[in-house]
Amino acid sequence: MMMNRQLLFVRVLFVVVTLTVGAGTAAAQKIETGFLNRSVTVNGSEYRYVVYVPREFSRSKTYPVILALHGGGEYGSDGLKQTAGGLAIAIRRNPERFPAIVVFPQAKADNTPGWQQEGGKAALAAVDQSIREFRGDARRIYLTGFSAGGNGSWFLLSHYPERFAAAVVVCGFITKFKGKTSGVDYPAIAPPEASDEYAYVAKRVSQIPIWIFHGDADQNVSVEESRKMFAALKAIGADVQYTELPGVQHNAWDPAYSRADVFEWLLKQKKR
């Protein structure tokens, strides 16, 4: 009888220890979600970024990835300013619309057209790092950006078209431009020898579904930039939509990013 009691005690103790260890292991493997701070190094320089991970994230699934480029007012090195508005606000208000990994890079305030130079390379490096860390789907990488980020979107789309499944470009520009907020000089995306700058960019991005937004009262970036890009893309039969927002000034990203249908459309696209 005493031996049976001892054996029973040992078995119960084993079960308790096993459950405790298992719980500790599960806790150690718990995945952090929400807006997470990260960094990537490019050419010896650190670039901080934020990556959004949905609350329902699971290691058993793969996720689409959205790269969100900020405008000229968010240049810096704090790694946070770029999430004070734009797409980050839309996610906080309606997280259920974004079952995706969303990468918010930050280009440095070094008076260079960030996304056209090292900032753009750092943004792509942040995407690659996020794909590895959070099981991103390389066939479903999407790009969006507004103002200077819209310029960066046209630049990255035209230089790395094979990387993106679709894009939403808000109040962007492709011609030579001086930033009203940042004072940064942005060179034209097309080379000097291009006879038609819009046609040149359109040809390079023609295989990517694109939705363009612009306010017709924009006093910062002329609405003609988006009108002409839309016309150039339509002329060659590209998959493009254009929504012009009546009475909306430069902050066209607020009404654009608040629309559920925009991201329903975006997340359905897959790389061809």
For residue 23, is it within any domain?
Answer: no
For residue 175, is it within any domain?
Answer: yes
For residue 133, is it within any domain?
Answer: yes
* pTM higher than 0.95: no
Count the domains in the chain: 1
Residue 36 has pLDDT above 60, yes or no: yes
For residue 171, is it within any domain?
Answer: yes
* Model pLDDT, residue 19: 35
Average pLDDT over residues 128-145: 97
- Mean pLDDT score of the chain, rounded to an integer? 91
pLDDT tens profile 91-112: 999 999 999 999 999 999 999 9
Token pair listed for 238: 């590209």
pLDDT tens profile 169-213: 999 999 999 998 888 999 999 999 999 999 999 999 999 999 999
Average pLDDT over residues 132-138: 96
What is the band of 29 on the pLDDT scale with cuts at 50, 70, 90? low
For residue 29, is it within any domain?
Answer: no
* Model pLDDT, residue 65: 98
Average pLDDT over residues 77-102: 97
Report the percent of the chain where pLDDT is more than 90. 86
Beta bridge partners of 166: 142
Token pair listed for 197: 């700058």
For residue 7, is it within any domain?
Answer: no
Q: Containing domain of residue 242, as a range?
A: 36-268
The Cα–Cα gap between 200 and 237 comes to 14
**What is the distance, to the nearest Å, from the Cα of residue 45 to the centroid of all Cα atoms in its chain?**
21
Report the percent of the chain where pLDDT is more than 70. 89
* DSSP per-residue letters across 89-141: HHHHH-GGG--SEEEEE---SSSS-GGGTHHHHHHHHHHHHHHHHHTEEEEEE
What is the band of 72 on the pLDDT scale with cuts at 50, 70, 90? very high
For residue 135, is it within any domain?
Answer: yes
Token pair listed for 257: 């990013």
What is the band of 164 on the pLDDT scale with cuts at 50, 70, 90? very high
E strands, the chain, in order: 34-42, 45-53, 63-69, 101-105, 136-146, 166-170, 177-178, 185-186, 210-215, 240-245
* Model pLDDT, residue 31: 83
Nearest partner of 217 among 175, 246, 242, judged by Cα: 246
Domain of 44, CATH number, reads 3.40.50.1820
pLDDT tens profile 216-248: 999 999 999 999 999 999 999 999 999 999 999
For residue 83, is it within any domain?
Answer: yes
Max Cα-Cα span within the chain: 98
